[in-house]
Structure formats: structure tokens, C-alpha cells
């Protein structure tokens, strides 16, 4: 199965995308990709998005509407768990060499989180 | 005008939300809020989301589907600008005391960015 087929595209064939800056870890922006945009992003190493308002690919430089960024402190479990899979963060898969790799450890068995 | 009216809700009355951890700056998860969810979040200081699959509010603890997090290095302008308003990041407004406040400086006149 193609790594692009493993992405859970929504009903419109789109995927929400968050851009975070290396180093500062600042969250910079939010936008959307379709399959073609993600493929081009992987090929070129540059962010290629899909503009919902224009109905076509765009190469950065357009507003994406309002998004809310919550700065949070996780409570309840030590170490903190945000993901229903029992991981610290929901972003635990990395794309590398044509495939997805889970790179964050499971801190707690999900079966014991949801009873 | 109410601070909730200043949010650009989408056609379904929803807003994409990114949760970022204080300290580590890890991006933890992505979900949606409607007006009621955001109001409750502000009132309680806890994240209240809107579940699109269940059609109701939820208080954390459900997967939100796939989202892509890009770790990026900004190029082209020093200091780096991600936002079309000429700011470092698109997240330049802070909600405080019932209103939105722009807290990031404009690094470059937007008129000179888009010609």
C-alpha cells in the first residue's frame, strides 16, 4: 500500500496541516493538503498546500482562515498523555523513505485509559 | 461586538484548534470547536471541543482523525515571516479579558510582500 493511501483523507479528500518551526517550535500556520499537494511536498521538500477557496494547489503565501492555538498544560497522568493511543502527542508518526514510522513510545496501555 | 463574533467560523460553524504544550512547545493534538465549545473553554480554563462524528461537545479523549505536522525552516526573509500580515507566525492574537489582542510585531509591510 502506498504511503499516501495510509493517510486518512477527509470526505473532501483533504488533510489539515500544521507548520511548526524547527528550533523555536513556534506553530506558524495551518492549512490544507490534498493528495497531490502532499506528494509534491514530499518530492520537493517545500510546503505545497491546497487552497479550498481557489480550488487549486498553492505554494505558500495565502491566508488560511482563523485557527485557534491553545497553550496547554496536561494534567492527570505523569508523564502526560494527549493521544488516545497512550502517547505524549498525537503526532507520533514520521514520514521517511516512502513510509510512516511510529517514533514515540506508548506511555500507557490505551485499554487502561478508556474503560 | 462579542469576542466570539470576531472568530471566523467556517460554514459548519466550526474552527480548527491546535493544542500546544507549554514548556516543551510540542504540538499535542488537533480538533474542532464550535462557538459553545470555545465559550466553555474560556469559562472553565479546560479544553472543550466539538466532535464532528458525534455531533456534540466533548471534554478531551477522542481521536480527531489524521493531521499532518510539518517541521519547517523558513527561508527568504530575515527575520522569517510566515503570516501574510507580515508577522513571524499566523498566531499573533491572544484572547485576554474578553477580547483579542495582537501581540506579535509586524516585521514587514504586507504591501511589500505581495506585489
pLDDT, one tens digit for every residue, chain B (115 residues): 688 998 889 999 999 999 888 888 888 888 899 999 999 988 888 889 999 888 999 876 555 567 778 777 777 777 888 888 888 888 888 888 888 888 899 998 888 876 5
ipTM > 0.90 (yes/no)? no
Q: Which tens digit of pLDDT belongs to each residue from A55-96?
A: 999 876 555 566 777 777 777 777 888 888 888 888 888 888
Q: Which of residues 54-93 of B touch A (CB under 8 A)?
A: 61-74, 80, 82-84, 88-91
Q: Which residues pair with B88 in a beta bridge?
A: none
Rounded Cα distance between B36 and B49, Å, is: 9
Rounded Cα distance between B91 and B112, Å, is: 21
- Give the distance from residue A72's alpha carbon to the nearest chain B alpha carbon, in angstroms: 5
Q: What is the pLDDT of residue A91?
A: 87
Q: What is the pLDDT of residue B115?
A: 59
Interface test with B, best of A70, A80, A94, A103 (most B CBs within 10 A): A70
By C-alpha distance, the chain A residue nearest B6 is A66
What are all long-range contacts of B55-62, with beta carbons under 8 Å and residues at least 24 apart? B61/A84, B61/A113, B61/A114, B62/A84
- Nearest 5°: CA angle at B34, between B30 and B35? 135
Q: Do A19 and B82 touch (CB under 8 A)?
A: yes
Q: What is the pLDDT of residue A61?
A: 52
Q: What is the pLDDT of residue A39?
A: 93
Q: A38 and B66 in contact (C-beta within 8 Å)?
A: no
Q: How far is CA A79 from the centre of its chain?
A: 22
Interface test with A, best of B9, B11, B12, B19 (most A CBs within 10 A): B19
- Report residue B87: phi and psi, to 5°: -105, 165
3-state DSSP assignment of residue A29: strand
Share of chain A above pLDDT 70, in %: 91
Mean pLDDT, residues A2-30 taken together: 88
Q: What is the pLDDT of residue A72?
A: 78
How many residues make up chain A in this entry? 115
Amino acid at each position: 500500500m502506498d504511503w499516501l493511501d495510509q493517510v486518512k483523507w477527509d470526505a473532501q479528500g483533504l488533510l489539515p496541516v500544521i507548520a511548526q518551526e524547527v528550533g523555536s517550535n513556534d506553530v506558524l500556520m495551518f492549512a490544507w493538503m490534498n493528495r497531490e499537494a502532499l506528494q509534491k511536498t514530499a518530492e520537493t521538500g517545500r510546503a505545497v498546500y491546497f487552497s479550498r477557496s481557489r480550488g487549486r494547489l498553492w505554494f505558500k503565501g495565502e491566508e488560511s482562515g482563523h485557527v485557534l492555538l491553545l497553550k496547554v498544560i496536561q494534567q492527570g497522568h505523569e508523564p502526560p498523555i494527549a493521544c488516545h493511543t497512550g502517547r505524549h502527542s498525537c503526532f507520533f508518526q514520521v514520514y521517511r523513505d516512502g513510509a510512516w514510522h511510529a517514533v514515540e513510545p506508548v506511555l500507557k496501555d490505551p485499554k487502561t485509559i478508556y474503560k
